[in-house]
Structure 1
Amino acid sequence: MPGATPPNQQNLLDFTHEAVIALDENERITFWNRGAERMYGWTAAEASGQALADLLRAECLRDAMGTLRSQGRAPPRTCEFVSSRKDGATLWVAASLSVCHDDEGRSVGFVAVHRDVTDRKRAEAKLCESEARMRALLDASPLGIDIMDLAGHPVFFNPKCEELHGLSLADAQGRGWTEAIHPEDRARVVSSWYQAAGAGEPWAETYRFLHRDGRVVWVSGRAAPMFLDGTPVGYVGTLEDITPLKQAEADRERMLDAERELRAQAERATRQRDETLAIVAHDLRNFISTILLCVARLERPKLPEDERARRVGAIQRAAEATEHLIRDLLDASRIESGTLAIERSRVDFAALFRAAVELMQPRAAELGISLDYAVADDDVEVSGDRRRLMQVLLNLLDNALKCTPPSGRVSLRARRSGGGVEIAVEDTGRGIEAEALPHIFDRYWQAKRASRAGAGLGLTITKGIVEAHGGRIWVESTPGRGTTLRFTVPAASANPP
């Protein structure tokens, strides 16, 4: 029986630190060594005859012994459980339980070896608690935190890392993590990493990830070597999302660029305004000088009639030029303030073309330039202000004649286009340089192709009138091959007066 332990064997078992316990078939204690006395606090006499599961308040022992009994000659069963001491204290126990058999193979009891593992369990609990705290910190960290081996392979990274580059740890294995680096930064970052890792030095880089969802994520990456007995074994690193900072820098740079451009535009506008004012002042001074000179001549007695007529004509032309210049300045001001008035009616464009060409034909003939026009449909009507549209045609024809050399040609064309009419003024002048094209409608801007400087308001006014009609105007030009100015206005049927 398990309780019949020889004296010499009992003495030997008393020297072991573990608790050695023998039980009979009824799971009652028949042997309780000194290790058991030290572990649980009961003497052998107190424990003898007690049901082990009841004494230690460990129902799991009864279940374990029942399982062993049903399995016959089964190997020892191990388990860990919480038990109670005599003084009420609890302890963790690691137990090994075996079935004892007689010579005929019948179960006659059990032998148990118990070891106090309370300290180990407490250490494990503290470790688990520490790991849980660390995991919580890593999960909540606003920084990406990773651990890499010396070959640059990721061993661990927290959720923030995955959020930044979009890779799971499995995806990032080997050099997979480098695939998330923006192609423009990849070679630089990988090279600097291996250079630092090879020397066992800290590493730092600013670079971009190309996230799986297509986003570009700017990060500041830093890593420091981890040492074991003075030998580097890997790196622990951080990734800080600096995308908002980079966006702010880009926004600030765009604002600075915009500010510089606005300042440059203001300076250009001021310069062009000053130049225009100088031209306006010069023209007005010439007109006034002409008028004063002619008036002085007219005051002379006995002035021949032919000279008197010439002087009166000169005064009239100077007055008309002055009026035209003042009208342009007023129109430009109204356009800029949005107060240009448009009085709509049905306008016959064929008749308007004829009238405009008739007005400009003497000037064209004087310059030796051929002037012609064509209207695709005789019944082309638009909804607009006849006086203002005539002003547009005369401005464009005047501009084309200024820029066309003798023996050149200026053509006026009109055709239906969508819900409106497209008008084109073509010339065979020397064209406009590409860099000047975006500016020809700017206020005070003057094309260098013109044979004579002006106030630089004609095309600005033309654009304002066209847009006030709901149309648009644009230019097509190739240096050396002439220029075509096109504009559109709504057809009368599309926008009745």
Structure 2
Amino acid sequence: MPLRQDANRPCAGSTLRVRIVRLTAPALLATLMADTRSWAQDFAYPESDIVGFSLGTPEVVQFALFAGAMTAALASALWLIRERGRIAHQNETLRAKLVVLNAHTSQLEALATTEGQRAVIWEDRDKKPAVIGALEATTGAPSDRAGFLAFGRWLEPGSAARIERLITDLRDEARPFVDTVETRGGAPLEVIGRTNGSSAVVRFSNLSGERAEKAQLALDHNRVVQTLETLQELLDALNAPVWLRDSQGKLTWVNQAFAKATRHETSAEVVAETSELFGSQALQKISDGRERGGAFKAAISTVVDGDRLVFDVVDARGPWGSAGLAVDKTEFDAIRRELGNTIRSHEETLDELTTAVAMFDENARLRFFNQAFQKLWGLESRFLESKPDTGMLLDTLRAEGKLPEQPEWRRWKNTVLSAYQAIEPQEHWWHLPDGQTVRVIANPHPKGGLTWVFENLTERIDLESRYKTLVRVQGESLDHLAEGVAVFGSDGKLQLSNPAFARFWGLEELTQREGVHISEIAKTCRDRSGDEEPWDHFAAVVTSFADDRGEETGRTPVGDVTLSWMVVPLPNGQTMITFVDVTASDQVERALRERNEALERTAQLRSRFVHHVSYELRTPLTNISGFTALLQSDVPGSLNAKQRDYVDHIASSSEALMVIVDDILDLATIDAGIMELDFIEVEVEPVIRDVTEAMQPRFAEHGIDLVVRVAPDTGSIFADAARLRQVIFNVLSNAADFAPERSTVTLDCERGEDGIVFKVRDGGPGIPVEALDDIFNPFQTGKIGRRRGAGLGLSLAKSFVSLHDGEIDINSSAGRGTEVVLRFPQVPPGVRVAAE
């Protein structure tokens, strides 16, 4: 069978074909010989004699077939040799073409990789694009492939969005494009998109020379157009007419406010119909002003939707033409006039007030004042009408002695003037040298400036003080009266009662309620006295509308007590009912009870008095200490030696007096039973060290040695640290006062059976036996000590030790010195119970 060489296959195919022929020819020959035998058997030809050989028919047929096969094999071999030569010639030709194509491809790659252009090639939609070439570094384009394909990172946002849209159309619809883009660095690039078969190629090229200038002009033009369109959108949203005119004065563009004012839908309609907002005279006035000075600014009125409106018009000339803006100020002028009228009305109203008022503008200059202001400060009208500023006004008032003298005038003045920078109103109280008290309110204005209000509260404070004193006196008098007093209003509700009234009728709980009615009181009192007649009569008298009411008296039994009552009508429609216990036995008992109550009230009054006086003393003492420290700091001025000595004595005396006041306050608190201790775990040795260090100068002043001995196992106790220090301090102070000069005072601290024991011993004159009983009483002072204090040190020490559930003992006698023993429990019982 014939074999054909494939013209499109390489030379190796021919070798393969030869092998196939060599393997196939014997098989074919064997097949043919087998077929021949079968044919020979089927056709039994007679034998033949050829060249002396006797051949039969099968041999002739086989020979003929063999000769044919050999001929076919030779012909095939010759054909294969010829085809192999032809294929070899084709391969040589193809190799030559491949060399040329490779050279051409190298040239193209060299051309693509030169500076100035970069291409992105998409061979297949599913494959990543290839990027070849490079752009100049001045463009700011990334050199890496991923960064370059992220156009939004290095192209201007508008250009990046446009290029991505064009590339999408190129790849999806094979739509070519040519565009100019701008990088973030401002460099223009030309972008060309083309398709080649199934590939899409986008080439970015640098522009230079005239092409770069043209591209830059195109970009600038687009930017100007976009900016102009943006400004037009802004002007369209502006609620004020805006217009543009050419060099001939013809309208070329107006905004929506202009179109609306001229009753048009769009700007194009206004320009097409040449509709004007203002009349011809006004337009001529605008044109003349623009030509003379380059710009026109004035108020012009016109009619819009049937209303006469006034506009502030600004029209300016430019290189191309002119532009104008009109702002409606009709409502603003009306509001300004109304505001002016309101301000004048307010000023007239303020001028009639008795409260002094002064208004200052944003420059702190006086703008308005009423007559009360001038009367309060007694200033001349000429001075006030000169509009002085606030600083000058304060200096003038100070020079005339009308302001309270301040230790630091400049600082006080700056504090007052700081109200101009404040947001919220400020309030001050000035106590003037003439005894007046003025409440000063500085109210800031929203646009700057202040309104000062000076309210003279002298008379009001005096009346309030008198009224409160009167009410207090009356209340105290009623509360301490032996007679029961009840006052009812015209509506029958209880308005005032004293404890005696509630006690007589057992109304303690009922009288504590506000607005209790006489009917409810009558019911309770009837149940108590069993007599309905008095309280029914009281209810009728209290709620009666009779004009001729008079005083009434009577008696009524209340249990074993007989009360004498009196009904007294009051001028304001109220009714007072008084009750007096007239039972002799009750009078004696009441007398004893009142005496006991008087004693308790006296004790409470003494405690309140001491507490009140102590607090009242602290205020002037604080002022004395503060001014003394100020004098010592040389801020007001330098002091000479004698003055400094006096000031030092004042400071030391103030400190001593402050200690006495603190002691009195502590004593009053303890006597009142309201002293509370803060129990914590306290290390004893640090407390002793702090107290002894503080006391060391006092001992050294008289050459006294203080010896402190603390046992190693002292540890800690639960106590009030501050009061523990105060106890040790008072005991050591007492020892320092009575110990002889150049003697020794010892402080021993050791652990006892259930706590800590402190022992303070001095070598002083001792305490007589008859004085030991009074040594812990308040205000008991020794007669031979160095310092005559208030006599509260040991009394307070005993009180604080007792509050710790401890004990204090004094072992002393005349001429043997004194030993004070303090015993503090490890944990006070109250603390232990709380812990449990």
TM range (shorter): 0.3 to 0.5
Instruction: Give the number of the structure whose residues are more often helix, by fraction.
Output: 2
Larger RCO, structures 1/2 (Cα 8 Å, 6+ apart): 1
Whichever of the two has the greater Rg, that structure is: 2
Normalised to the residue count of structure 1, the TM-score between the two structures is 0.39
